[in-house]
């Protein structure tokens, strides 16, 4: 049986702008088969909205919080390494909410 799709809204606090964080998030979301977007806000946060199976959303949330790549590797050296390592920048807090998917998005965008 297939999971009902859900919408994750995650507000990411920390040093997450100007470091490739949205690109990294988009890459992780696409690997997980999610659709949505990551958007910078004036106050320094990044808002991530993702739709798909709840298990995939939970994994994305875990990755946002841990900064770890899907393969479990960690970055070596500078904190702004991305693809195969930790999330770029520094995540201090992620505040999430869940609701039923709206089905109004395709792909995953950096906004």
Residues acting as catalytic residues: 22, 40
Task: Please return the burial class of 46, using the count of CB atoms within 10 Å of its CB with bins 0-12, 13-18 and 19+.
Answer: buried
d(CA 111, CA 67): 20
Report the distance separating Cα 87 and Cα 16, nearest Å. 9
Query: Is the dihedral angle over the CA atoms 16, 26, 57, 8 positive or is it negative?
Result: positive
């Amino acid at each position: 049986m297939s999971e009902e799709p859900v919408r994750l809204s995650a507000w990411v606090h920390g040093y997450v702008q100007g470091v490739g964080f949205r690109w990294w998030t988009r890459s992780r979301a696409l690997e997980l088969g999610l659709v949505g977007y990551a958007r910078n806000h004036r106050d320094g946060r990044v808002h991530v909205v993702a739709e798909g199976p709840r298990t995939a959303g939970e994994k994305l949330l875990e990755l946002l919080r841990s900064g770890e790549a899907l393969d479990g590797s960690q970055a070596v050296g500078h904190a702004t390494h991305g693809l195969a390592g930790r999330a770029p920048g520094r995540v201090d807090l992620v505040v999430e909410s869940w609701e039923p998917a709206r089905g109004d998005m395709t792909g995953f965008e950096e906004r």
